Amino acid sequence: MEFSIKTLSPETAKAGCVVLGIHANQELTPAARRADQASKGALKKALADLPAKAGSSLLLRSLPGVAAERVLLVSLGEHGEFGDSAFRDAVRGAALALKELGAKDAAFFLVDIKVGSRHVSWNLRHAVLGLRDAFYRFDQMKSQKKAPAAALQHVVFPLSSKTELQKALAEAAATADGIELAKTLGNLPPNICTPAYLADAASKLARQYKLGVEVLERADMQKLGMGALLAVANASHNPPKLIVLRYNGAAKGRKPIALVGKGITFDTGGISLKPAAEMDEMKFDMSGAGSVLGAIRALAGMKAPVNVVGVIPTCENMPGGHATRPGDVVTTLSGQTVEILNTDAEGRLILCDALTYAARFEPEKVIDIATLTGACVVALGHVASGLFANDEALAAELLAAADDARDPVWRMPLWEEYQEGLRSNFADFANIGGRPGGAITAACYLARFTRKMRWAHLDVAGTAWKSGREKGSTGRPVPLLVRFALRHAGRK
Ligand code: BES
Ligand code: MN
Ligand code: ZN
């Protein structure tokens, strides 16, 4: 899908479809008013059939005085309630209607509307992401692919072309590429998307965008002493990998942001085996890893002026004769010992060694991303990701980026009182607390490995994928990570 910016009038635009916004109570936006005047009121007459709900649409054909054959009217909802959500609903509604129509190109006038206090570049970014999201599909594993007839090839945004907007457009398109990579890696089945597959995906990105890449093998991990990561990988025939992917878009001397992503390509629970129902969804347990690859792809694709190092511990969590037993004690890369009381709390085991390893890149800030706990889903549902941080400024930056990206997070506590749950009679500490506050004790475990760094943890267990009929990866939190990195680099 190509995007461009060009000054256009709705009545003269030569596009397959002109998309116009209408508020409830038949309140026309300036572009819609122009088209209405050109059609001598024909547009307004048709409005009675447009439902008020934001995102509803109505297609008009051969409107007199309007050059384009098709005009798509999209409801923006009540004027008084028009804001971020209504705008995004309108974009999504328009995108789905364009898909249904099979339109090849469109002039998308929705971006030329004031959305609360948002800058027009925000509209542009969210229009691009909404359109790309609606047209994403994953049919790689189907033997019969649907004909790609409904491909929207070109979208023109009718704005005056300023460098700032061109830049926002390029950033948004690259972000969409990154989100799609994360989605596809998540959606791939666990017999294909193995640790080796993720390592290959990283190497491909490295070739395509000239990034640095290094993959540590099991023997390297043994030499280093990554006892926790190795304990999780013990019973799997697919060997573990530790992927390091570096993008340097800023000056050499600038410390990188480290992104550490949980890459469990399938989580059976190990000896603490999970129940059978919905276990297939544990293929999404590498979503943190996917989001790191996606964010790096986005930032490299837009040549963002920032240095990033991605660190991805990846393996399967399998039962078997070599599997780690509940009660086993292992020594982590940090030197601290852990009593593994539950082998299903494996994410924190691979992450703790990866976080310790990440310190060698002397990162300015470290963010780990993980589908870490079912407890986080209980706490926050599928709307907000859990945010934990040992640094107030970093937490504030992530909250602001999340708002900007509309990829919400909710701050959770990391208080010392919660550390008590992890006590062990046999090792320095255990890998689980009790059931209460499960997302918090998991974060507290990670905090024991990041004391010397500015660190934040995103628990995306409830937000990285959808279940049910719409089952599939969401690509979250790539939008947040990209916004965070860009804001860090001084882009607004
Ligand atoms: N990958 C799961 C977390 C998860 C569960 C994500 C359900 C999304 C939906 C993680 O490895 C896990 O199994 N966590 C355990 C921890 C427990 C044993 C302390 C959990 O949440 O049950
Ligand atoms: Mn688990
Ligand atoms: Zn897991």
Strands 307-317 and 465-466: unpaired
The per-residue pLDDT for 254 is 97
Express as a percent the part of the chain with pLDDT over 90.
96
Is any atom of ligand 1 closer than 6 Å to the C-beta of 316? no
Is any atom of ligand 1 closer than 6 Å to the C-beta of 437? no
Nearest CA to ligand 1 atom 6: 461
- The answer, yes or no, to whether residue 147 has pLDDT greater than 90, is no
Rounded Cα–Cα distance for residues 76 and 85 (Å):
10
Of 474, 451, 478, whose CA–CA distance to 463 is shortest?
A: 474
Name the closest ligand to CA 315: 3
Could you tell me if 293 and 312 are in contact, meaning their C-beta atoms sit under 8 angstroms apart?
Answer: yes
Is any atom of ligand 1 closer than 6 Å to the C-beta of 347? yes
The per-residue pLDDT for 311 is 99
The ligand 1 atom nearest the CA atom of 462: 8
Express as a percent the part of the chain with pLDDT over 70.
99
* Alpha-carbon 153 to chain mean position: 24
Could you tell me if 95 and 130 are in contact, meaning their C-beta atoms sit under 8 angstroms apart?
Answer: yes
Which pair of structure tokens corresponds to residue 224?
């280093």
Question: If you measure from the C-alpha of residue 282 to the centroid of ligand 3, how many angstroms do you get, rounded to a whole number?
Answer: 7
| Catalytic residue selected from 44, 167, 254, 274 | 274
Provide DSSP, 307-366: EEEEEEEEEEE--STTPPPTT-EEE-TTS-EEE-S-TT--HHHHHHHHHHHHGGG--SEE
137 is catalytic: no
The per-residue pLDDT for 146 is 75
CA separation, residue 121 to residues 75, 114, 117 (Å): 21, 11, 12
Mean per-residue pLDDT, 458-486: 98
Nearest CA to ligand 1 atom 22: 374
| Catalytic residue selected from 88, 283, 297, 348 | 348
Measure the N-to-C terminal CA separation of the chain; round to a whole number of Å. 25
- The answer, yes or no, to whether residue 25 has pLDDT greater than 90, is no
Question: If you measure from the C-alpha of residue 379 to the centroid of ligand 2, how many angstroms do you get, rounded to a whole number?
Answer: 17
Could you tell me if 97 and 59 are in contact, meaning their C-beta atoms sit under 8 angstroms apart?
Answer: yes
Is any atom of ligand 1 closer than 6 Å to the C-beta of 475? no
- The answer, yes or no, to whether residue 408 has pLDDT greater than 90, is yes
Nearest CA to ligand 1 atom 9: 374
- The answer, yes or no, to whether residue 469 has pLDDT greater than 90, is yes
pLDDT bracket for residue 492 (50, 70, 90): confident
pLDDT bracket for residue 161 (50, 70, 90): confident
Strands 337-339 and 329-331: antiparallel
The per-residue pLDDT for 467 is 98
Mean pLDDT of all residues belonging to the chain:
97
- The answer, yes or no, to whether residue 27 has pLDDT greater than 90, is no
Is any atom of ligand 1 closer than 6 Å to the C-beta of 174? no
User: What residue type is 324 in one-letter code?
Assistant: T
pLDDT bracket for residue 283 (50, 70, 90): very high
Is any atom of ligand 1 closer than 6 Å to the C-beta of 373? yes
Which pair of structure tokens corresponds to residue 144?
């019969």
Rounded Cα–Cα distance for residues 313 and 79 (Å):
48
348 is catalytic: yes
The per-residue pLDDT for 26 is 86
Is any atom of ligand 1 closer than 6 Å to the C-beta of 375? yes
Question: Ligand 1 test: best mutation among 272, 287, 373, most atoms within 8 Å of CB?
Answer: 373
Confirm whether pTM is higher than 0.95: yes
Rounded Cα–Cα distance for residues 221 and 199 (Å):
15
The per-residue pLDDT for 406 is 98
Residue 337 makes CB contacts below 8 A (sequence gap 6+) with: 329, 330, 331, 427, 428
Q: What is the pLDDT of residues 231-279, one digit of tens each?
A: 999 999 999 999 999 999 999 999 999 999 999 999 999 999 999 999 9
Name the closest ligand to CA 314: 3
Rounded Cα–Cα distance for residues 414 and 128 (Å):
36
Of 346, 228, 227, whose CA–CA distance to 282 is shortest?
A: 346
Is any atom of ligand 1 closer than 6 Å to the C-beta of 459? no
Rounded Cα–Cα distance for residues 131 and 109 (Å):
13
Could you tell me if 287 and 465 are in contact, meaning their C-beta atoms sit under 8 angstroms apart?
Answer: yes
Question: Ligand 1 test: best mutation among 268, 274, 314, 344, most atoms within 8 Å of CB?
Answer: 344
Question: If you measure from the C-alpha of residue 364 to the centroid of ligand 2, how many angstroms do you get, rounded to a whole number?
Answer: 30
Q: Which three-class secondary structure state does DSSP give residue 257? A: strand
Mean per-residue pLDDT, 153-170: 96
Of 75, 68, 80, whose CA–CA distance to 47 is shortest?
A: 75
